Chain A
Amino acid sequence: MSQEMIRLTDVAKSFTLHNQDGATLPVFAGLSMSVAAGECVALAGPSGKGKSTLMRMLYGNYLCPAGSIEIRHKDGWTDVAGADPRSILNLRRWTLGYISQFLRVVPRVSALDVVAEPLVSRGLPPEEAQEKAAAILTRLNLPESLWHLAPATFSGGEQQRVNIARGFVAPFPVMLLDEPTASLDKTNREAVLDLIRDAKARGVALIGIFHDAETRNAVCDREFEIASYAVAA
C-alpha cells in the first residue's frame, strides 16, 4: 500500500453565530478518513452537508475544534487542527495546494504573476517562475493576450483556469480541489483532468469535490460519503 499522506481522526465541526442569538449549526462529527499518495478521493454527499467546510478545514481556513487533521509535511506530520499560523503558512507553501471554486483577484496583479506567485514564495527567481506559469497557462489554453492583464475582468472560465494554473504550477504533494471543472467547456475540462492524472502519477494525494459524475469517474479512485457523519441541528 502507498504511503499515507492525509489522516483525519474524529473530526467535528459546528458554527456558533454569536450575533444571531448564539445559534449553533452542527455540521459533522466523528469523521475519520485517510488518503494515500497517488490517490484521488471525491467527497460525496448532498449540498449543505459540509463538503466545502471540510476542504476549508483541511486547508486551515476554517478552524478544526475537535479531532486532528494530519498532513504529511517534509519528514513528519503537521496537525492542521493544532498548528500555529506560521506552521500552516509553511505547510501551504511547500505541501498543501488548494484550488478554490473562485479566484480571489488582487487589483493590478497580472494573471501571469498570480500564477507564478506560489513559486516566487518558494524563492524561485521571478523570471523562472513566470516561465513555468506561462507553460501551464498554455497547457490550459488561456490566450497569451490575457497573461499580462489582471484577471478581474476575465470570464468565469478564464478566471477558473488561472486559479487551476496557480494550484498546479508548484509540485504540491497534497492537493485540495473544490469543483475545479465547474465552469469549463469540454476541451478545458480535459486539460484539467490531464493535470490531475499527471499529479496522481507523481504520487500526489488529492481530495476533491466534483459534482459532475463524468469528471469524478474519470479521475477519482473512490468516494467518501460525508453525509454519514452529519449531525442533526
Chain B
Amino acid sequence: MSATQTLLSVTGLTKHYGAHLGCADVSFDLYPGEVVGIVGESGSGKTTLLNCLAGRLAPDEGRVQYTDRLGDSMDVHAMSESRRRFLMRTDWAFVHQNPRDGLRMAVSAGGNVGERLMAVGARHYGDIRSQAIDWLDKTEVDVGRVDDRPDTFSGGMQQRLQIARNLVTGPRLVFMDEPTGGLDVSVQARLLDLLRRLVAEMGLSAIIVTHDLAVARLLSHRLMVMRRGHVVEQGLTDQVLDDPQHAYTQLLVSSVLQP
C-alpha cells in the first residue's frame, strides 16, 4: 500500500553553527498527503531544520530519506547536486518567505511560471503559456498581468505568483518558509484559503514553517514545536494547540492575543 510508505523519513538530524545549535536530534516521518507544521519563536531553529530537510543545508549528523514516485528510497544529503536540483524542479517545491528569493524579478509573471515547465522538458510555447495563464488564474493573479514583471506586483500577488511557479509542475512535496509572513491579514486570509484548497485538491505533502499558530492550525495535520533547536513537543495539530503538554508550548499558546 503506497499510503503506508513514508515520503520523507528523518532520523537524528543535527546542525550546529560553530558553537551555536541550529537543530538537534530531530526525527519524524512524513506520509503522502500529510502536512506538518513547524512552530516556535524566532531563532528556535525552524528555518535551519527546513533547509536541512530540503537538502539546502548539510546537517552535521542524521539522515533525510526521500522515497520517489517509483518507490525508490534515496538519501537527500548523499545524492549529487545535479540529482538534488532535478528533484527540486520536479518532485519538490520550495516557497520562500520573501517572494524575491523564489521568483526571477526581471522575468515576466508568465515567464516565471513557464520557466519551471520548461525545466521539466515542456517545449511547446502555446502550451506553456496557456498552462501558465491557467495557474495565474488558479492562484488569483490577474491574468491580464501575465506579461508584467513581478516587481510591479504587490507583496500578496508576488507570493501567489511564487506559489503558481512552484506548483505548476505538480510536485509531491512542498517546503514552505513562513509563506504568509510579511503580508497584511486580509491578504494572508486569501493566501491561506488558496494554500488550503490547493494542498487538499492536489493531495500535496507539505512542511510548513510558521510562527503563526493560526496558520499552523489551518494548514497542518501535525505540529512540531521547536525551542532552542529541540523539538519539545509534537502531535496532532489541534491536540498540541488545545491541550499543550510542554511548558514552552503552553506559554506559546497562552501568549496569542484573541482579536
For B237, the chain A residues whose CB sits under 8 A away are 85
For B218, the chain A residues whose CB sits under 8 A away are 106
Q: Could you mark each residue 201-242 of chain B with 1 if its beta carbon is under 8 Å from any beta carbon of chain A, else 0?
A: 000000000000000001001100000000000011111001
Q: Kindly identify, within residues 186 to 211 of chain B, every residue whose CB is under 8 Å from any CB belonging to chain A.
A: 189-190, 192-193, 196, 200
Q: Kindly identify, within residues 1 to 44 of chain A, every residue whose CB is under 8 Å from any CB belonging to chain B.
A: 15-19
Do A62 and B196 have beta carbons less than 8 Å apart?
no
Instruction: Please report the C-alpha to C-alpha distance between residue A57 and residue B78 in the assembled complex, in whole angstroms.
Output: 43
Q: Could you mark each residue 78-119 of chain A with 1 if its beta carbon is under 8 Å from any beta carbon of chain B, else 0?
A: 000000011011000000000000000011110000000000
Instruction: Please report the C-alpha to C-alpha distance between residue A153 and residue B59 in the assembled complex, in whole angstroms.
Output: 48
For B19, the chain A residues whose CB sits under 8 A away are none
For B250, the chain A residues whose CB sits under 8 A away are 17-19
| A16 to chain B: closest residue by CB | B245
Do A89 and B221 have beta carbons less than 8 Å apart?
yes
Q: A106-B193, A107-B193 are in contact. Are A88 and B236 (CB under 8 A)?
A: yes
Q: A17-B250, A18-B250, A56-B243 are in contact. Are A85 and B192 (CB under 8 A)?
A: no
| A65 to chain B: closest residue by CB | B245
Q: A17-B250, A18-B246, A19-B250 are in contact. Are A61 and B193 (CB under 8 A)?
A: no
> What secondary structure prevails in chain B residues at the interface with A?
helix
For B31, the chain A residues whose CB sits under 8 A away are 86
CB distance from B242 to the nearest CB of A (A): 5
Q: Could you mark each residue 58-77 of chain A with 1 if its beta carbon is under 8 Å from any beta carbon of chain B, else 0?
A: 00111100000000000000
Do A61 and B246 have beta carbons less than 8 Å apart?
no
Q: Could you mark each residue 120-134 of chain A with 1 if its beta carbon is under 8 Å from any beta carbon of chain B, else 0?
A: 110000000000000
Instruction: Please report the C-alpha to C-alpha distance between residue A106 and residue B120 in the assembled complex, in whole angstroms.
Output: 36
Do B190 and A120 have beta carbons less than 8 Å apart?
no
With beta carbons under 8 angstroms apart, the residue of B236, B245, B247 that contacts A89 is B236
Q: Kindly identify, within residues 158 to 198 of chain B, every residue whose CB is under 8 Å from any CB belonging to chain A.
A: 189-190, 192-193, 196
Do B221 and A56 have beta carbons less than 8 Å apart?
no
| B197 to chain A: closest residue by CB | A109
Instruction: Please report the C-alpha to C-alpha distance between residue A107 and residue B193 in the assembled complex, in whole angstroms.
Output: 7
Instruction: Please report the C-alpha to C-alpha distance between residue A184 and residue B142 in the assembled complex, in whole angstroms.
Output: 43
| B243 to chain A: closest residue by CB | A62
For B243, the chain A residues whose CB sits under 8 A away are 15, 56, 61-63
| B188 to chain A: closest residue by CB | A107
CB distance from B244 to the nearest CB of A (A): 9
CB distance from B28 to the nearest CB of A (A): 11
| A121 to chain B: closest residue by CB | B200
For B221, the chain A residues whose CB sits under 8 A away are 85-86, 89
Do A108 and B190 have beta carbons less than 8 Å apart?
yes
Residues of chain B at the chain A interface (Cβ within 8 Å): 31, 34, 189-190, 192-193, 196, 200, 218, 221-222, 235-239, 242-243, 245-247, 250-251, 254
16 contacts between A and B (CB under 8 A): A15-B243, A18-B250, A56-B243, A61-B239, A61-B242, A61-B243, A63-B239, A63-B243, A85-B235, A85-B237, A86-B31, A89-B221, A106-B196, A106-B218, A107-B192, A108-B193
Given contact pairs A63-B243, A85-B222, A109-B193, a sample of 17 additional A-B residue pairs in the complex whose CB atoms are under 8 Å apart: A15-B243, A18-B246, A19-B254, A56-B243, A61-B236, A62-B239, A62-B242, A62-B243, A63-B245, A85-B236, A86-B34, A89-B221, A89-B236, A106-B196, A106-B218, A107-B193, A108-B193
